[in-house]
Structure 1
């Protein structure tokens, strides 16, 4: 019998495995796909240290009308999904009220504060190939209108004063000096100086997985079925073979309900789907750093495979057919700012961000069972928070004091506990 079964080989599952192996545990990691090939692969590649404020539900009438009328690039919804999505989205709206949101930020900021620390630890341990993927410049939050830039600068100053987040303000000439191939149309940008960016997120997760194997971890590819508690531990069937361990971790992202609900945990989870596409550029045309265009709602990032455009949030059923409407709108807007080349991918990549209504992940022991732990619900910050979540889960599972207070992330908050 192993010490731990981990279901889910994304960045959360792999990082949890690494931290457990370092503590002398034997670990078997299970996933239906190769490690890091789902949401860990398809993000904008930011280790988002500045992201102390999770994405709140819009509460101003103008934004709500734009989303409701399908005019927004940042967010859209599938009407047929609304009956199922309505209850968690209503709670999401409620938790986004100013009073509630202030409390969320206070709880969330210490977790984000572990992001660079824990990624740095794994990057150093993984070695030079991981280090080659990292840029420590930060990224640009760019604005088309001066008034919105000025408003966001005020918020950035508040985050600097309260949480120590580093930034500088770039007017258009300063931004153009850093990004000479931008065409125009921008008032300037906030340069967030604390975050790191990654030119191939999937490759970084692959390097972390190599570290997991080097430390003695084992991987079993297949769908884990029938996870259940038995005397002294947990058991599951993977491709007809039974695996057993004293403890189990569910790190399945948007697929977690498939395992949790049979165990009696019905949580108000939902997904925000997203898309990306890679583009070429002309000879000598370079985008040096990630740029986010918040007034439209997309990110444009230099990646190993080309310039990656990532979209905002699509509220839809997890497994519904792709509807990459936002990508077409984002591409059109991006071409106003930068001379993108042709599409390089045969079709858009689609992924699903696992979300909770209060915008905070679940990093917790399961309250109804012994030896069962959960790391899910990271929304837009899964890539950022994977190593921090793994650290906290491993500390909880081995009886150590946790690096930060984990009470705000307990599963029981959705179960009246």
Structure 2
């Protein structure tokens, strides 16, 4: 029977990063994936390494916003009415943690991860030979209403500037200079300069996995639900037979509960579903930066495959059939902003974001099992936080001094 020091369950950006960091610290690692490296949640996202997101996405507290969302006609948020009673308790906890005082504390606790997110990616991108996938041009919020533009400018100066984040305030002419093909429906923007963007997130994860394999790591195909606790560690099944590891890491994103629940753990893990579609630009149109249309609630990103239109969040059962209503609503509005042409994809892609109500991931040891570790629940920032999560968890697992206090991410905080 094959044996290793660690089995990492899940080959998305978080799992692959954990495997690489453990490997760099001398551990023999098996990376177990059922359906393809970087093909799950890591496949479809905005492609941003969001160094500027020092405040996580929180629950809206304005009564007018809540009323608007309740009508269920929006691009940025949608819910399945039949699923609403099931998700309501989780949303109540999300609302609780989103109070200004609690949100400020959570932001401070997430800050060390955000601050190190880009540098930790760069530490992997260069040896993996993936520099061609990264663009360090930041991203731009665009606004259709001057009131929302001015509100964003004030927040940038009051909330983000004190953290040393760099940004440019753009009027209509300044925005046009950076994005010549954007239409006049927008009045200006805020250009965040610190983040980087990835032209193919799935290719990035695959490239990191290839680096792991070149360095002697083992990629294995198998179902993480086969994990079983043994007297000396953990047993699991691969397509070549059973295997054992002294320790195990659950890095399965929205599917983490499929493994931790049978082991006796209960986390308030919810899923925010989302969709994307790629388009060919019309004529010679070029999109130079990732654009977030703040007033309408969608995002456009330049990818190798075309211009990616991504939606906000959908609250529905994790495994329910896709309902790309938001994408259908967003497409005509997006075409008002930028000249999108024909579809590149045969059908919309749907993904699942693993979210906890306090907007922080779980990173650290399992309370009930020696040698079992967790790394999941990264909300909207899995791509951003994958490598820095890998570093922190590997430091904890190998007895090194963690670069930051891991207490805020502990598994027993709920």
Same fold, judged at TM 0.5 (above): yes
Query: What are the residue-to-residue correspondences of 1:279-318 with 2, within 5 Å?
Result: 279-318=279-318
Q: Which position in structure 1 is the counterpart of 2:119? A: 117
> Aligned partners of 1:314 and 1:299: how far apart in 2?
15
| Long gaps (5+) in structure 2 | none
Helix, strand or coil: the match of 1:40?
helix
Q: Is the aligned partner of 1:263 residue 2:263?
A: yes
> Aligned partners of 1:7 and 1:276: how far apart in 2?
26
Which of residues 55, 58, 73 is equivalent to 1:56?
58
Q: Deviations along 1:352-407, whole A, 9 cap, x unmatched?
A: 00000101111111111111111100111001000011111111110011111111
Aligned residues: 412
Q: Deviations along 1:308-343, whole A, 9 cap, x unmatched?
A: 000000011100010000001111111111111011
Q: Is the aligned partner of 1:150 residue 2:147?
A: no
Q: Which position in structure 2 is the counterpart of 1:169? A: 169
Helix, strand or coil: the match of 1:148?
helix
> Aligned partners of 2:168 and 2:313: how far apart in 1?
27
> Aligned partners of 2:172 and 2:13: how far apart in 1?
36
Helix, strand or coil: the match of 1:380?
coil
Q: Which position in structure 2 is the counterpart of 1:245? A: 245
> Aligned partners of 2:160 and 2:58: how far apart in 1?
20
Q: Which position in structure 1 is the counterpart of 2:224? A: 224
Q: Which position in structure 1 is the counterpart of 2:16? A: 14
Moved over 6 A (4+): none
Q: Which position in structure 2 is the counterpart of 1:75? A: 77
Query: What are the residue-to-residue correspondences of 1:303-342 with 2, within 5 Å?
Result: 303-342=303-342
Which of residues 99, 104, 108 is equivalent to 2:110?
108
Q: Which position in structure 2 is the counterpart of 1:358? A: 358
Q: Contact 2:54–2:111 at 8 Å: present in 1 too?
A: yes
**TM-score, normalising length: structure 1:** 0.97
Shift of 1:131: 0.2
Q: Contact 1:159–1:165 at 8 Å: present in 2 too?
A: no
| Long gaps (5+) in structure 1 | none
**TM-score, normalising length: structure 2:** 0.98
- Aligned CA-pair RMSD: 1.1
Shift of 1:104: 0.7
> Aligned partners of 2:396 and 2:348: how far apart in 1?
39
Shift of 1:240: 7.5
